[in-house]
């Protein structure tokens, strides 16, 4: 399955009023939205979601931030969705993100960088499953 990815509009972007503008970017880039919901992660959920980073020095900062407010999770569909979405969001550090990317335009800092994107097809499937049941993914328009 290389046509689905998992995306999140992170708490900084929701707090800063960019949720609608980021949804516009998603639609303009021709992703189909299969599922979307507003969530607020607990600290434990954030630790589970980012478990791959648990040994990193920024793990506490990251999971505290990710559980600090509302976020929007999305399951997206497009050809080569994982790489297409990572191209749309730009580099992890907004200072290095190229013009026209979401992080360049809406990120706050390296730690609070507006959006998440799955980094592989395998992780996309795992992350979609973390937040959505199959019946919540709507592929017909
Ligand atoms: P994401 O997984 O959120 O899409 P990414 O894949 O571009 O981001 P990762 O290396 O997976 O980058 O890091 C996960 C998240 O951890 C980053 O998006 C950022 O919010 C945070 N992060 C990464 N490096 C640092 C750092 N040096 N200091 C603080 N936070 C960081
Ligand atoms: Mg990552």
Q: Is the pTM of this model over 0.85?
A: yes
Cα-to-centroid distance, 118 and ligand 2 (Å): 6
Average pLDDT in the 69-78 region? 98
Local confidence band at 1 (pLDDT 50, 70, 90 cut-offs): low
| Full set of structural domains in the chain with CATH | 2-136 (3.30.70.141)
Residue with tokens 């999140």: 8
Residues 6 or more apart in contact with residue 121 via CB below 8 angstroms:
1, 2, 4, 82
Give the pair of three-digit tokens for residue 81: 């969705």
**Residue 2 confidence (pLDDT):** 78
One of 10, 25, 78, 116 is an active-site residue; which one?
Answer: 116
Distances (CA, A) of 30 to 10, 45, 115, 120: 21, 30, 17, 20
Confirm or reject: Cβ of 88 under 6 Å from ligand 1. Answer: no
**Residue 66 confidence (pLDDT):** 98
- 116 has catalytic annotation: yes
Closest CA to 10 of 112, 94, 119: 112
Give the pair of three-digit tokens for residue 141: 């328009």
């Amino acid at each position: 399955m290389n046509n689905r990815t998992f995306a999140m509009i992170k708490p900084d972007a929701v707090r800063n009023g960019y949720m609608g503008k980021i949804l516009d970017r998603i639609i303009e880039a021709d992703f189909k939205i299969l599922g979307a919901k507003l969530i607020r992660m607990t600290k434990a959920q954030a630790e589970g979601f980012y478990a791959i980073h648990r040994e990193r020095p920024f793990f506490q900062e990251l999971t505290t931030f990710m559980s600090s407010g509302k976020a929007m999770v999305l399951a997206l569909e497009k050809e080569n969705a994982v790489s297409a979405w990572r191209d749309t969001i730009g580099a992890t550090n907004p200072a290095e993100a190229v013009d026209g990317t979401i992080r360049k335009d809406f990120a706050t800092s390296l730690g609070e960088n507006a959006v998440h994107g799955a980094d592989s097809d395998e992780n996309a499937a795992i992350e979609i499953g973390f937040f959505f049941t199959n019946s919540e993914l709507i592929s017909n328009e």
